[in-house]
């Protein structure tokens, strides 16, 4: 090939030959092309499935979050709620504190031994001027000190700074706990013909053994027609842990007792031979709701242990705190079994206590078709489910009606635990839970899950497992 040298305006140009930089095209076999097409299609389909799954999960999370916020209007309490005595005098203010929790205004609790309290006073002698009460919880082996502090100290961080480092964790607000039953506007007195079960559906008792059981709740109406055999088969022993000037509330405790011992044309008792130790800790917040201070609950638990109550029903929930946690730990060490409501906060709600503590049996609620109660809490701490939706039970006004909530499911499990211990008194907590697992009907995902726990427990107690 010739080369040409051209000159233009003093610039020299040398022509050159360009070479192609493309790879030669090779025809692929049809089988390989088909395989590539199928692989591309599969990847595209998988990507679309993942996108759809992600959208579904996002929508589910939004739905659960919205559902958790759809609280019954009856549970909306004011930020400051005065609690009055029978003369309409202020006893304390119930207030909303951090994280939306409720507590007695400026009241704090310390759960210490006498020696530990002396250590506190050595470091902060001025703290003694804030002491309202000091009560020995002999059954728990500690002393309960209640403080009322000025606003300048009404803060966990500020108070803990004043305490010895080792004792600071034993401090808590005097939190308010609530029963876990669906509020109703008025008692519903159903016609007997509408609520008497068919003969083939009459539930059996959990067991016929003589049972002793404790519960922390409201007071119980002792004159209700649902327990006509009080002298023979139902013994009710009540003790109240509220200031005498505060009117007693009867609604929730009567409903729980109705599940345990109600015996009438409409009701079949879980425990037909029952001694029930009822520790009244709840006061009326309004016409439909009740609250219990942590102070009252601790005193109630101490009394129940003194009555030799091995099983304690706690159809109540509230916040986690070191004082309640320490009390639960001491009870478990004494082989006391706590059965507690999982809570009615909704499927996206945070865990509630005492049910979420290790060693406490947490109970959720289902309806007659084994569907989970729509307001039931969910989580790893759920242990068992029981019927707790539209449960026929006693009402404080003397009527019979239906109630819903994890509160109504809890006594079913408490009754089963009490029957197990009555037949085998040496069972440990771990052995009791193991036996309950054997009696549970698995619901939801196979094995233990966050909705039903190990499964559904029903009456009667199964024997020979």
Give yes or no: residues 300 and 188 share one domain. Answer: yes
Please report, for the domain that includes residue 131, its CATH number.
Answer: 3.30.70
Of 254, 291, 293, the C-alpha closest to 276 is: 254
Do 128 and 106 belong to one domain? Answer: yes
Do residues 276 and 420 both lie within one domain? yes
Residue 72 lies in a domain: no
Please tell me the predicted confidence (pLDDT) of residue 36.
65
Residue finishing a domain among 145, 175, 205: 175
In this prediction, residue 186 carries a pLDDT of 44
Q: Is residue 11 part of a domain?
A: no
Q: Is residue 303 part of a domain?
A: yes
Same domain, 224 and 171: no
* Residue 246 located in a structural domain: yes
Residues 171 and 270 in one domain: no
Q: Is residue 10 part of a domain?
A: no
User: Is 53 among the domain residues?
Assistant: no
What is the model's pLDDT at position 28?
57
Does 195 fall in a domain?
Answer: yes
Give the CATH number of the domain where residue 264 resides.
Answer: 3.40.50.200
pLDDT at 196: 43
Residue 332 structural domain: 179-439
Residues 288 and 375 in one domain: yes
Residues 364 and 427 in one domain: yes
Nearest to 289 by CA among 30, 29, 78, 1: 78
| pLDDT, tens digit, 9 for 90 and up, residues 263-294 | 999 999 999 999 999 999 999 999 889 999 99
Looking at the structure, do residues 278 and 196 belong to the same domain, yes or no?
yes
Q: Last residue of some domain: 157, 175, 193?
A: 175
What is the per-residue pLDDT for 254? 97
- Residues 283 and 155 placed together within one structural domain of the fold: no
For residues 188 and 165, membership in a common domain is answered with: no
Residue 372 lies in a domain: yes
Domain boundary among 108, 143, 175: 175
Q: Which residues of the chain have pLDDT under 70?
A: 1-37, 39, 49, 52-53, 55-75, 182-202, 464-465
Q: What is the pLDDT of residue 127?
A: 87
pLDDT of residue 304: 98
**Predicted model pTM:** 0.82
Shared-domain flag, residues 158 and 230: no
Report the catalytic residues.
217, 252, 407
| Domains identified in the chain, total number | 2
Q: pLDDT tens digits, residue range 25-35?
A: 456 566 665 66
Distance CA 142, CA 117 (A): 10
pLDDT at 33: 59
Residues 345 and 380 in one domain: yes
């Amino acid at each position: 090939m010739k080369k040409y040298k051209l000159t233009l305006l003093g610039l020299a140009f040398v022509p050159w030959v360009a070479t192609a930089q493309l790879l030669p095209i090779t025809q692929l076999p049809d089988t390989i092309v088909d395989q590539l097409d199928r692989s591309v299609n599969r990847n595209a389909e998988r990507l679309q499935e993942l996108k759809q799954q992600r959208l579904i999960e996002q929508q589910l999370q939004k739905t659960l979050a919205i559902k958790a916020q759809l609280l019954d209007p009856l549970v909306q309490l004011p930020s400051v709620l005065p609690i009055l005595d029978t003369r309409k005098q202020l006893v304390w203010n119930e207030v909303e504190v951090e994280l939306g929790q409720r507590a007695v205004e400026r009241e704090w609790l310390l759960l210490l031994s006498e020696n530990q309290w002396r250590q506190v006073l050595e470091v902060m002698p001025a703290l003694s001027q804030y002491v309202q009460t000091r009560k020995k919880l002999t059954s728990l082996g500690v002393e309960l000190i209640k403080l009322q502090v000025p606003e300048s100290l009404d803060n966990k961080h500020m108070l803990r700074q004043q305490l010895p480092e080792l004792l600071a964790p034993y401090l808590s607000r005097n939190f308010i706990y609530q029963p876990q039953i669906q509020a109703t506007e008025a008692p519903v007195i159903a016609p007997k013909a509408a609520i008497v079960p068919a003969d083939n559906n009459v539930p059996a008792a959990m067991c016929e053994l003589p049972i002793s059981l404790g519960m922390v709740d409201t007071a119980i109406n002792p004159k209700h027609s649902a327990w006509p055999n009080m002298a023979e088969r139902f013994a009710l022993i009540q003790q109240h842990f509220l200031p005498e000037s505060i009117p007693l509330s009867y609604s929730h405790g009567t409903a729980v007792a109705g599940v345990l011992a109600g015996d009438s044309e409409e009701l079949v008792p879980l425990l037909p031979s029952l001694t029930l130790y009822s520790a009244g800790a709840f006061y009326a917040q309004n016409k439909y709701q009740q609250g219990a201070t942590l102070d009252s609950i601790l005193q109630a638990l101490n009394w129940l242990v003194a009555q030799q109550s091995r099983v304690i029903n706690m159809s109540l929930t509230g916040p986690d705190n070191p004082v309640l946690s320490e009390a639960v730990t001491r009870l478990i060490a004494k082989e006391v079994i706590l059965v507690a409501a999982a809570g009615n906060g909704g499927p996206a709600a945070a865990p509630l206590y005492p049910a979420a503590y290790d060693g406490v049996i947490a109970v959720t609620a289902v309806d007659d078709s084994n569907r989970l109660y729509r307001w039931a809490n969910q989580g790893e701490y759920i242990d068992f489910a029981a019927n707790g939706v539209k449960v026929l039970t006693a009402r404080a006004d003397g009527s019979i009606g239906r109630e819903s909530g994890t509160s109504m499911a809890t006594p079913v499990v408490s009754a089963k635990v009490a029957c197990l211990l009555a037949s085998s008194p040496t069972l440990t907590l771990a052995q009791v839970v193991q036996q309950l697992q054997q009696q549970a009907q698995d619901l939801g995902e196979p094995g233990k899950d966050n909705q039903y726990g190990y499964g559904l427990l029903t009456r009667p107690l199964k024997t020979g497992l």
